[in-house]
C-alpha cells in the first residue's frame, strides 16, 4: 500500500481497528501521504483517487466506512474540477452531452447518497469490494471493439454531436453520438455508485460512452470528468448536511488527492504506464479481498 | 491551431474554466489554512492519541448552521475555516451549472435552459435531502 514517507508515527497496519498510538498530527500526515499516492496513481492509470482512498482510510486507518466515503466524495469534486479546467479550455469535453447526462448522474447520486444512510457498513464493504473487482477487471480487459451506429433522433434534436482538436493526431476529430437513452441509464447507475461509495463513477460511464455511444475515448474521459464534479457535489451536499463529512478526515484527503492528481497529470506525458497499471490492479485486488473479508466478518 | 469557435460558446467555456480554477484553488487554500490553525491554536485538534478517537468518531461532526460556520471562520476557528473551504468546493460545480444556464438563455437555447435548470434544481434538492435523511 502507498504510505507516507514523512509521517513520524505511522498508523499500525496490524489490525484495522487499532489506532491507539496515533496522534492527530500523525493521522493527518499519513492520510495526506496516502491520498497523495492515491491521486497520483489514479491519474496515471486514468481513474479517480476515491477507489483507493476509501479502502486505505477504512482498512489502514480505522475510519468508519461512511466517514471515509464522505471524505472521498469531497476529494472527487476537487480532482474532477481541477482536471475539467484543462479539458474545457481545450474544448475536448462535450459540454452539451455532459449537461444532458448530468440529469441522470445527479439523480443517481442523490439516490445513492440517500440510500447510503440505510445500507449497513458491512453491506457498503461488500458493494465496494464488488466495484473494486469490476474496476480491476476492466483495467485488464483489452480496449477497443467495434461501434454499431444507429440513428439517434434525440442526439440530433439536442445537437449533442461533437468535435475537438486532437493534438496527437494534429487534426480536428468530429463524431456523432448514438444511444443517448442508454447513456442516461448508465449515467444513473454510475451516479448511484458515486453517491453510495464516494467514487467518481467514470469506470462505468466511459466504456459505454466509448463503445455504445460512439464517442472517441479522449472525449469520453474528458466529458465524464466534466460531469463527475457536479455528480459528486450532489452527493457531497447530502453527506455534508447529514454530518458525515468530518473536517479532520476530509481536509488531508482533499488536499492530498488533488496534489497527487496534479503531479500525475504533469508526469503523464513521458511515462510508460503498463507497469503502473499492473501495480494498480494488484492494489485494487488486495483491497477488494480485504473489503470482502471485512464485509463477511 | 484551434478552430475559430463561436463567440458565446467560447465565452462560456472561458467562464466555466475560470470558475472551476478559482473555486478549487480558493477551497484548497482555506482547507490547508484551517488545518494549520486547528493544529497550532488551543481548542483545536489536540496532541494525544485520545484526541484522534474523538476526531474520527461521532463527536467529530460539527454544527451545520450558517451561524457556527461564519462565526467560527471569522474567529479563525480551524475547523470552521476547513468547513468553509469544503463548502466552497461543493459550491464550485453548482456555480458552474448556474453560469451555463445564463449562457444558454443568452443563446436562446430553450431546451438546454430547461435541462441545466433541472440539474441545478436537483443540486439544491440535495441540500434539503441531506437534512431530511
What's the pLDDT band for B46 if we cut at 50, 70, 90? Answer: confident
Residue A120 falls inside a structural domain: yes
**Rounded percentage of chain A residues whose pLDDT exceeds 90:** 51
A4 pLDDT more than 50: no
Residue A289 has pLDDT above 90, yes or no: yes
pLDDT at A1 over 60: no
Global ipTM: 0.88
Count of domains observed in chain A: 1
pLDDT score at A16: 44
pLDDT value for B88: 94
Distance (Å, whole) CA B65 – CA B53: 24
Q: Pick the range with the lowest mean pLDDT from A17-31, A54-68, A224-238, B108-122.
A: A17-31
Would you give the end-to-end CA distance of chain B in angstroms? 51
* Residue bearing the bigger pLDDT, A44 or A204: A204
Which domain, by its residues, includes A104? 24-296
Mean pLDDT (whole number) for A258-279: 75
In a domain, A17, yes or no: no
Q: What pLDDT score was predicted for residue A269? A: 54
Say yes or no to pLDDT of B84 above 80. yes
Mean pLDDT of A262-280: 72
Q: Which of A10, A24, A25, A153 to mutate to test the interface with B (most CBs of B within 10 A)?
A: A24
- Which residue in A248, A249, A261 has the most chain B C-beta atoms within 10 A of its own C-beta, making it the best mutation to test that interface? A248
For residue A7, pLDDT beyond 60: no
Q: Is the pLDDT of residue A264 over 90?
A: no
Among residues of chain A, what percentage have pLDDT more than 70?
90
Whether A12 and chain B come into contact, CB under 8 Å, resolves to no
What cell numbers appear for B128 in the block? 434539503
Q: What's the mean pLDDT in A186-211?
A: 92
* Region for residue A145 given its phi and psi (left: phi exceeds 0; alpha: psi -120 to 50; beta: otherwise): left
For chain B, the residue count is: 133
Can you give the pLDDT at residue B48? 78
Mean pLDDT for all residues in chain A: 86
Q: Look at residue B97 in the predicted model and tell me its pLDDT.
A: 93
Which whole number is the average pLDDT over B115-126?
94
Identify which of A4-8, A28-32, A142-146 has the greatest average pLDDT. A28-32
A110: nearest CA partner in chain B: B126
Residue A4 counted as domain residue = no
pLDDT band (50, 70, 90) for residue B43: low
Distance CA A80, CA A57 (A): 20
B30 CB within 8 Å of a chain A CB: no
Confidence bin at B5 (pLDDT 50/70/90): very low
> Is residue A11 scored above 60 in pLDDT?
no
The backbone torsions φ and ψ at residue A172, rounded to the nearest 5 degrees and listed phi first, read -75, 135
Give DSSP secondary structure letters for chain B: ------HHHHHHHHHHHHHHHHHHHHHHHHHHHHHHHHHHSTTSS-SSHHHHHHHHSGGG-----HHHHHHHHHTT-HHHHHHHHHHHHHHHHHHHHHHHHHHHHHTT-HHHHHHHHHHHHHHHHHHHHHHH-
The mean per-residue pLDDT over the stretch A212-229 comes to 89
B93-119 burial, b at 16+ Cβ within 10 Å, e below that, comes to bbbbbbbbbebbeeeebeebbebbbbb
Which residues in chain B (112-131) have CB-CB distances under 8 A to chain A?
Answer: 112, 115-116, 118-119, 122-123, 125-127, 129-131
Beta pairing partners, A174: A163
pLDDT at B25: 93
Query: Is A238 contained in some domain?
Result: yes
pLDDT value at B4 more than 50: no
For an interface test with B, the pick among A88, A228, A252 (most B C-beta atoms closer than 10 Å) comes out as: A88
pTM here is 0.88
**What is the reported pLDDT for A149?**
83
Mean pLDDT of A161-170: 86
SS (H, E, C) A72-108: HHHHHHHHHHHHHHHHHHCCCCCHHHHHHHHHHHHHH
Decide if A6 is inside a domain. no
Per-residue confidence (pLDDT) for residue A15, from 0 to 100:
43
Amino acid at each position: 500500500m502507498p504510505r507516507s514517507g514523512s509521517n513520524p508515527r505511522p498508523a499500525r497496519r496490524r489490525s484495522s481497528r487499532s489506532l491507539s498510538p496515533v496522534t492527530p498530527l500523525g493521522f493527518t500526515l499519513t492520510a495526506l501521504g496516502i491520498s497523495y499516492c492515491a491521486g497520483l496513481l489514479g491519474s496515471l492509470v486514468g481513474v479517480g483517487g476515491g477507489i483507493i482512498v476509501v479502502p486505505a482510510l477504512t482498512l489502514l486507518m480505522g475510519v468508519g466506512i461512511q466517514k471515509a466515503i464522505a471524505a472521498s466524495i469531497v476529494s472527487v469534486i476537487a480532482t474532477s474540477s481541477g482536471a475539467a479546467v484543462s479539458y474545457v479550455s481545450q474544448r475536448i469535453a462535450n459540454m452539451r452531452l455532459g449537461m444532458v447526462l448530468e440529469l441522470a448522474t445527479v439523480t443517481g447520486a442523490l439516490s445513492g447518497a440517500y440510500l447510503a444512510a440505510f445500507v449497513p457498513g458491512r453491506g457498503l464493504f461488500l458493494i465496494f469490494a464488488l466495484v473494486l473487482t469490476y474496476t480491476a477487471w476492466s483495467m485488464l480487459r483489452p480496449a477497443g471493439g467495434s461501434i454499431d451506429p444507429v440513428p439517434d433522433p434525440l442526439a440530433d434534436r439536442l445537437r449533442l454531436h461533437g468535435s475537438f482538436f486532437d493534438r496527437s493526431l494534429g487534426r480536428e476529430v468530429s463524431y456523432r453520438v448514438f444511444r443517448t437513452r442508454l447513456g442516461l441509464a448508465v449515467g444513473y447507475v454510475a451516479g448511484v455508485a458515486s453517491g453510495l461509495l464516494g467514487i467518481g463513477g467514470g469506470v462505468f460511464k466511459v466504456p459505454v460512452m466509448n463503445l455504445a455511444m460512439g464517442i472517441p475515448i479522449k472525449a469520453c474521459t474528458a466529458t465524464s470528468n466534466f460531469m463527475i464534479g457536479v455528480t459528486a457535489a450532489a452527493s457531497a451536499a447530502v453527506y455534508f448536511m447529514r454530518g458525515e463529512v468530518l473536517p479532520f478526515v476530509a481536509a488531508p484527503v482533499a488536499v492530498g488527492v488533488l496534489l497527487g492528481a496534479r503531479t500525475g497529470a504533469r508526469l503523464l506525458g513521458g511515462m510508460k504506464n503498463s507497469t503502473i497499471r499492473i501495480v494498480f490492479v494488484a492494489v485494487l485486488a488486495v483491497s477488494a479481498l480485504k473489503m470482502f473479508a471485512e464485509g463477511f466478518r | 491551431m484551434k478552430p475559430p469557435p463561436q463567440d458565446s460558446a467560447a465565452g462560456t467555456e472561458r467562464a466555466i474554466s475560470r470558475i472551476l480554477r478559482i473555486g478549487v484553488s480558493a477551497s484548497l487554500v482555506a482547507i490547508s489554512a484551517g488545518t494549520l490553525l486547528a493544529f497550532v491554536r488551543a481548542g483545536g485538534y489536540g496532541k494525544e492519541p485520545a484526541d484522534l478517537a474523538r476526531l474520527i468518531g461521532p463527536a467529530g461532526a460539527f454544527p451545520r448552521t450558517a451561524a457556527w460556520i461564519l462565526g467560527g471562520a471569522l474567529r479563525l476557528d480551524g475547523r470552521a475555516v476547513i468547513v468553509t473551504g469544503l463548502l466552497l468546493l461543493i459550491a464550485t460545480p453548482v456555480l458552474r451549472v448556474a453560469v451555463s444556464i445564463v449562457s444558454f438563455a443568452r443563446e436562446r437555447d430553450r431546451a438546454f435552459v430547461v435541462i441545466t435548470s433541472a440539474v441545478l434544481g436537483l443540486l439544491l434538492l440535495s441540500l434539503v435531502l441531506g437534512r431530511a435523511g
